[in-house]
Structure 1
Amino acid sequence: MAVFLSPGLHAAEDQNSFENPILWADVPDPDVIRVGNAFYMTSTTMHMNPGVPIMKSYDLVHWEIVNYVYDTLGDSDAQALRNGQNEYGKGSWASSLRYHNGTYYVVFSSSTAGNTFIYKTQDIEKGPWTRSTIGFYHDMSLLFDDDGRVYLVHGGGDIRLTELTADASAVKPGGLNQVIIPNASLVAGPNVGLPAEGAHIQKINGKYYIFLITWPQGKGRTQLVFRADRITGPYEGRVALDFAGVAQGGIVDTPDGKWYGMLFQDHGSVGRTPFLVPVSWQNAWPVFGVNGQIPAQMPMPVPGMNSNHKIVASDDFDQTRLPLVWQWNHNPDNNLWSLTERPGFMRLKTGRTSTGILDARNSLTQRSIGPESSGRIALDVSRMKSGDYAGLAALQKNYGFVGVKMSGNSKSIIMVNGSGTAPVEVASVPLAQNTVHFKVEMDFKNNTDKAYFYYSLDGNRWTAIGNTLQMSYTLPHFMGYRFALFNYATQSAGGYVDFDYFRIENRMTGTGGSGESPQSPVQSGSVYKLRNAHSSMVIGISGMSTANGGQAVQWNDNGSADHQWRFDRLSSGYYKLTNIHSGKVLGVENMSTANGASAIQWDDNGTADHEWQLAPVGDGSYKLVNRHSGKVLGVDGMSKTAGARIVQWDDNGTADHNWTFSFVR
């Protein structure tokens, strides 16, 4: 049975498959190329510096940041957060990445500078880069044609062609400069909220293909494709994908000839997340997805290349350079931070006064990640001055933070909620020591978009502080929420703080004493697949039955809804497991206490056989212990065959009694 992705669905990957989004983080406007067996991708990071990340992958799914195109783009007041100016939501946009005759090219525009920048290098991972500047060209895409001519395709609504010099450093005098697709949105219907833009041009098998995005009124973001035999046209176009708002990007092939589109989806306050979409060819048209949809689970594009590469990471600040996962909010003042003045710490100094965190310089950021993020720090505040604020923030226009405020000679732990018309200090607790730990946790599941704030005096026992921040993706910042380490002065400059570490995890732990403990493998209210450690199969319901008494069986993981279970934690500490397909809960047939009794689904009538305890084995797997019988969940006869019954049995230590949990949503 084919199962297709619904908006926002994501689950853990196994070694042979992947699910979207491939990066549950803010990586918008992706552009991907392949050089040999390596893929490179650029993305938009706007007002963050260094800018335009270069990401690398060998399988299109696992990515790491290997370089940036520039450290800073300029030093205007807006770029440096000076004199009340900023460039939130501006900076660099929608880069185009190309490789031609041994040289890598990255082209992008900046509304702050009012220009388009063309960067070149022979070594994309190490540089150096050289830069040329031309006029402003919106959402441009670079093409090196077979005859040696070079072009930009760009614009919104009407799509234009502008010819560059052969070295792609300037606009060619007297070169082509014309509209090639008038009113490009029209192929999606007469009424659009966003005219076609986001161009990606590629020449494949002698034809020119231009990929665009538009937004028809009453519908979602939509991917368009146009093709022509000559670069000047005429172009014919069609809707390439209209599914769950996944759109905007080009296509790339694998070494063995498969094609994929790298697009993205608006994903609430975590930002715009990249989706990898299979592409097939029919009559020289690229066809995105399968029957107009995106499969929920797909084979890895390049098998055997799995890695632990990530675009976020914890940091002990024990290096002399910041790892590439970090970016500064606007231009940093490099005289006001150090990794060497106190080895093993990052020192942030204040160099001026600020009105708040949004105009504070040298806030150091990493992306948040979904479906959950937990970021924490340890902070030495012994050298703060009166009027200083330092701590950890959930950064966007509607921000929140937990930190230390210095008032005279007194320190206090505070939580500030900046989601209203003015920031509010929601809570304050006196602080009598110089080292303190802070934690911010963000919940993006099911578009919850809430952030929670904690402090600890010893790094082990955590206390919630303040209120919950309702996060929101705002257009003035045009960026997903980030963790931000900050220190700013409101009275006089000269104080500093030392950050001992930053830890980021992909699950929330709360206070560690309420709700799920840090050792719990699941979050209450979330949906998981239960995978048997012995057979590697998942629990489903025989025949996808929705009837009471439907037999629980193991089956190959084909993505069907009866393989998905919602875990709800009860006040007893046990869990109730509800099948997503049938709405019924997992129990034991006739409330039996005998070995070999079948696990079945049933209406939730509150009986004890519907309650299960998760007992850690010690190797990352868990036993499911029935509250009524005391027996554990296993597979009949330790079978590895699809369709084998799920049963209860005495805990005798066999591997079929061990289970792992794959997050779905």
Structure 2
Amino acid sequence: MTNTLISNPLLWSDVPDVDPIRIGNVYYMISTSMHSMPGCPIMRSEDLKHWEIVSYVFDTLEDNDGHNLHGGNHIYGQGSWAASLKYHNGIAYVCFSCNDTKAFYIYQTADIEHGPWTRTVIEGLRHDPALLFDEDRVFVFYGNGDIYLTELLPDLSGVKPDGIQQLLFETEREGIGLRCEGCHAYKLNGYYYLLFIEWPREGNRRRRQICYRSRELLGPYERRVVLDDDLGYHNKGVAQGGIFDTPSGDWYAMLFQDHDAVGRIPILVPMTWEADWPVFGYDGKVPAQFTVPLPEKPGQPLVISDEFEYEEDRLALQWQWNHNPDHSSWSVTERSGHLRLRTADPTPSVLQARNTLTLRTEGPACEATVLLDTSGLQSGERGGLIALQSHFGTIGVRVDEDGRRWLSMCVNDGTGGDRELAATPLEGELVHLRIVFNFADSIDEATFHYSLDGSSWTVLGETLHMKYTLDHFMGYRIGLFAYASSQSGGHADFDYFRYRRLED
């Protein structure tokens, strides 16, 4: 058997709140998806290095004004948070809370890669939940600082009426800014293990990994700091995530690290056991490189190019919509080899545009290029590319009231609206658009370019100094958009989407 070299960060892209499991010889993990649809991506790996999206838990979560970007409503920074993934007796389970609906969701399936998933909705938030199957009983741990335990019915269809529902314990307060959250629960070695993160006010003042353990479900629990390291990156701690073993008995943790504008990125950490405590990393440090005793098996990349050659209106799994899509207003079959985005409900801002189609960005740098056919855009409509976060930047084409086309670069005006920084007339209907992202060493800049021939490029507008903000709580995404500011009815056709990761 050959070894596979692991280099951290494992994925230099926004895959936050990871929770990994193993089923046989295959590894799966889930992550937070918030306002991106479909949601709760299931990622698969056989070598712990290459992770590909194989499915999603749901296509849409709810059908309401916020999820549909209707009437000025939205769920930016809300939606599904910190999902827990477990596999028990041949069934895969996912649970999470949704901040905007104030509800707790449980999904289950016998086929983790293909579904279908059935769901249960239970009233009330359970912050950063962790499922635990304990023989013929099932529990959910959750909370921020004050950690609670609730027993569920054996089929997970609701809370067990006569089961345990109580405050389990209170975590440290002295010298702590953000108290324990992000729970992951396990029963191993005769102990109950609860893994958390906390953010101290003293010492290194960065997120760190905490473990509580007890031989009894209800405690008392012992506490230990099990990892406090930043991989040399701006004092941003590697923490929060789950642990798993290999068939040969090796142990690993899949955690993540805040990496500024690109988002929260996964880190793989080797793990051992000492006196029944988990020990993360080597000598308290996360290794930048190490090997795992598994043969390398590449999969599909996390971000792709796409020529939009489809036989049905079903996109590659890497794509996600910003909020719920309007399926009547997009197609990849209406015009062969093109993504057509029809303008739907009029909106004053790209942040409220339906059917913005998105992909993650990747570090250290990357670029996204499209060929846009603007012939279908009508007066008052726009189409183009966006560096999507609250502090966004766009490059595209707007059509003014007399039908004239303008190349336009815009940013957030401070209220979520579009502020145009530069514009130049577009002669003709075809234009190549490009955004270049630079995340190296937290430079976090994006530049906006256009070309009329696909080879000679011109910068338009200003450099965007990208910022990760908590109102969106997501790393920058590449988005393809089309929307109307007044009357809708037109469309934008994207001939291709071409992506390139730029290495150091």
TM-score w.r.t. length of structure 1 = 0.72
1:343 equivalent in alignment to 2:332: no
Residue aligning to 1:617: none
Instruction: State how 1:216-615 maps to structure 2 within 5 Å.
Output: 216-218=200-202, 219-244=205-230, 245-299=237-291, 301-319=292-310, 320=312, 321-407=314-400, 408-418=402-412, 420=414, 423-507=418-502
Q: For this pair of structures, how many residues does the alignment match?
A: 490
Structure 2 letter corresponding to 1:358: L
SS of aligned partner of 2:105? strand
Residue aligning to 1:88: 76
Deviant stretches of 4+, over 4 Å: 419-422
SS of aligned partner of 1:248? strand
Shift of residue 480, structure 1, vs aligned partner: 0.2
For the Cα contact (< 8 Å) 1:185–1:214, is it kept in 2?
Answer: no
- Higher RCO, 1 or 2 (CA under 8 Å, sep at least 6)? 2
Shift of residue 309, structure 1, vs aligned partner: 2.9
Shift of residue 419, structure 1, vs aligned partner: 6.5
Share of identical aligned residues, percent? Answer: 50
1:49 equivalent in alignment to 2:37: yes
What is the alpha-carbon distance in structure 2 between the residues aligned to residue 419 and residue 377 of structure 1? 25
For the Cα contact (< 8 Å) 2:3–2:293, is it kept in 1?
Answer: no
For the Cα contact (< 8 Å) 1:15–1:306, is it kept in 2?
Answer: no
Structure 2 letter corresponding to 1:340: T
For the Cα contact (< 8 Å) 1:419–1:470, is it kept in 2?
Answer: no
What is the alpha-carbon distance in structure 2 between the residues aligned to residue 493 and residue 192 of structure 1? 52
Residue aligning to 2:233: none
For the Cα contact (< 8 Å) 1:397–1:419, is it kept in 2?
Answer: no
Deviation track 1:272-311 (CA, whole Å, cap 9, x = no partner) reads 0011111111000000111111122111x24312314321
Q: Which runs of 5+ in 1 are unaligned?
A: 1-13, 508-521, 523-662
Specify which of 185, 188, 208 is matched with residue 172 of structure 2: 185
Deviation track 1:567-615 (CA, whole Å, cap 9, x = no partner) reads xxxxxxxxxxxxxxxxxxxxxxxxxxxxxxxxxxxxxxxxxxxxxxxxx
What is the alpha-carbon distance in structure 1 between the residues aligned to residue 60 and residue 485 of structure 2? 26
Q: Which runs of 5+ in 2 are unaligned?
A: 231-236
Deviation track 1:320-351 (CA, whole Å, cap 9, x = no partner) reads 22001001001111000011111111100012
SS of aligned partner of 1:249? strand
What is the alpha-carbon distance in structure 2 between the residues aligned to residue 461 and residue 351 of structure 1? 33
Deviation track 1:627-661 (CA, whole Å, cap 9, x = no partner) reads xxxxxxxxxxxxxxxxxxxxxxxxxxxxxxxxxxx
Specify which of 132, 139, 142 is matched with residue 128 of structure 2: 139
Residue aligning to 2:234: none
Shift of residue 113, structure 1, vs aligned partner: 1.2
What is the alpha-carbon distance in structure 2 between the residues aligned to residue 185 and residue 450 of structure 1? 38
Greater shift, 460-469 or 419-428, is seen at 419-428
SS of aligned partner of 1:185? coil
What is the alpha-carbon distance in structure 2 between the residues aligned to residue 201 and residue 303 of structure 1? 26
For the Cα contact (< 8 Å) 1:62–1:307, is it kept in 2?
Answer: yes
Shift of residue 200, structure 1, vs aligned partner: 0.3
Specify which of 16, 19, 38 is matched with residue 7 of structure 2: 19
Shift of residue 420, structure 1, vs aligned partner: 4.5
Instruction: State how 1:74-223 maps to structure 2 within 5 Å.
Output: 74-135=62-123, 136-146=125-135, 148-182=136-170, 184-186=171-173, 190-218=174-202, 219-223=205-209
Structure whose alpha-carbon radius of gyration is higher: 1
Deviation track 1:526-572 (CA, whole Å, cap 9, x = no partner) reads xxxxxxxxxxxxxxxxxxxxxxxxxxxxxxxxxxxxxxxxxxxxxxx
SS of aligned partner of 1:155? strand
Q: Return the structure number with greater strand share.
A: 2
Deviation track 1:442-498 (CA, whole Å, cap 9, x = no partner) reads 100010000000001121211111110000000000000000000000121100011
Greater shift, 422-431 or 446-455, is seen at 422-431
What is the alpha-carbon distance in structure 1 between the residues aligned to residue 216 and residue 167 of structure 2? 14
For the Cα contact (< 8 Å) 2:367–2:436, is it kept in 1?
Answer: yes
SS of aligned partner of 1:358? helix
SS of aligned partner of 2:238? coil
What is the alpha-carbon distance in structure 1 between the residues aligned to residue 225 and residue 354 of structure 2? 44
Structure 2 letter corresponding to 1:231: L
Shift of residue 217, structure 1, vs aligned partner: 1.1
For the Cα contact (< 8 Å) 2:350–2:418, is it kept in 1?
Answer: no
What is the alpha-carbon distance in structure 2 between the residues aligned to residue 158 and residue 428 of structure 1? 53
In 2 relative to 1, CA 250–325 (structure 1 residues): closer, same or farther, beyond 3 Å? Answer: same
What is the alpha-carbon distance in structure 2 between the residues aligned to residue 80 and residue 36 of structure 1? 39
Structure 1 letter corresponding to 2:482: N
Structure 2 letter corresponding to 1:282: E
Greater shift, 266-275 or 77-86, is seen at 77-86
What is the alpha-carbon distance in structure 1 between the residues aligned to residue 107 and residue 280 of structure 2? 31
Structure 2 letter corresponding to 1:312: V
Shift of residue 119, structure 1, vs aligned partner: 0.3
What is the alpha-carbon distance in structure 2 between the residues aligned to residue 112 and residue 332 of structure 1? 18
For the Cα contact (< 8 Å) 1:254–1:302, is it kept in 2?
Answer: no
